[in-house]
Amino acid sequence: MTLDAPQPTMSNAAGVDGRDAASTPWVNVAPLMSTRRRRNVGDAVFRALTTGAAWSLVGVVVAIVAVLAWECAGAMRTFGWSFLTVQKWDPVANEYGALPFIYGTLVSSLLALLQAVPLGIGTALFLSEMAPSWLRAPVAFLVELLAAIPSVVYGLWGIFVLVPWVRGWVTPWLADTLGFLPFFQGPSYGVGMLTASMILAVMIVPYITSVALEVFRTVPVAQREAALALGATRWEMIRMAVLPYGRVGVVGAIMLGLGRALGETMAVTMVIGNRPEISASFFAPASTMASVIANEFSEAASDLYVQVLVEIGLVLLVVTMLVNILARLLVWRVGDAAAGH
């Protein structure tokens, strides 16, 4: 749909030009005609360029998938579908299964969303509805600055600040209060699934906040005033006027954050503990698809070893794509519900 979008706009522009020329008879026609011809050439070139740009992107995605599939064909033949369901990762014996990495990627990203969504939406609501105007710009700027920090810096901060803090304060507190759940049991090393999700949360908050803030700003003032005029408190106004109006955009913002979390490599690698094992406890070390590729690709000497790492790359791509499709469906459903509302 994105592809045919430019077309009506362009024919529209041509139409405007034509009418301009026809309705202004006092203009010397000859140079205008040549300008028009030239402009038509320009339109054609522009159209070709934009069409080419759009299709080349499609081509790049197709090429990536094709190359990945081609490069890992050997591993696919060797392991088949069991690659996705086996928990073993032994480069010495050449036995591989991607399940712990798929689990690690999905769970760390979802845990990150659980933390980042309330924080990000809360920040965006505060900035758009409650913050005094002198505070709004600096805070929004600082939040966006978080997105500019390189992930390796987050990783270092994670190792030196977050890890000791998680080990000393967060996990003991979680074990005391929620220890009856299997997720919060067992020894805590500081590094592990929970720490990785926390760092991911910090990394995706700026995405969620910025997009959600833009969305909330588009809510018409009249709608807010109407709610207030009917006697709504500020919270009721936000709940009834702002949130439903921005629902589609907010879901989109969350999905943008999720996409970032799924693919994040460096910071996660540095604090997740890199253990290819599925463990019920969030305190335990884990590993993700992106981190295993970053860790092991450079020294993978045997052909099969390289192929399984490429196959993990393909799986990561497919998982990301599925999540995005799901998100798109969700946005449509939410959009429909909002329209029916």
Q: What tokens were used for 153?
A: 């810096």
For residues 295 and 320, which CB has a smaller minimum distance to other proteins in the complex? Answer: 295
Q: What tokens were used for 89?
A: 């990762």
- Residues 160-179 contacting other proteins, CB under 8 A: 160, 163-164, 167
- Residues 181-240 contacting other proteins, CB under 8 A: 187, 189-191
282 contributes a contact to other proteins by CB under 8 A: no
Measured CA distances, 331 to 111, 119, 206 (Å): 21, 21, 20
- Minimal distance in Å, beta carbon 103 to other proteins? 16
How far does the chain reach from its first CA to its final CA, in angstroms?
A: 26
Q: What tokens were used for 244?
A: 């439903």
- Minimal distance in Å, beta carbon 293 to other proteins? 11
Candidate residues 10, 110, 159, 226; the one interacting with other proteins per rule CB under 8 A = 159
86 contributes a contact to other proteins by CB under 8 A: no
Q: What single-letter DSSP state applies at residue 282?
A: T
- Residues 33-72 contacting other proteins, CB under 8 A: none
Secondary structure of residue 286 in the 3-state scheme: strand
Residue 39, CA atoms < 13 Å, CB-side half-sphere? 15
288 contributes a contact to other proteins by CB under 8 A: no
Candidate residues 269, 281, 288, 307; the one interacting with other proteins per rule CB under 8 A = 269
Candidate residues 198, 273, 312, 314; the one interacting with other proteins per rule CB under 8 A = 273
**Contact assessment for residue 188 and residue 172, using Cβ atoms and an 8 Å cutoff:** yes
Tokens 């020894």, residue?
A: 187
Candidate residues 20, 90, 236, 336; the one interacting with other proteins per rule CB under 8 A = 90
> Computed over its alpha carbons, how large is the radius of gyration of the chain?
26
State the residues that interact with other proteins by CB under 8 A.
Answer: 88-93, 159-160, 163-164, 167, 187, 189-191, 269-270, 273-276, 285, 287, 291, 294-296, 298-301
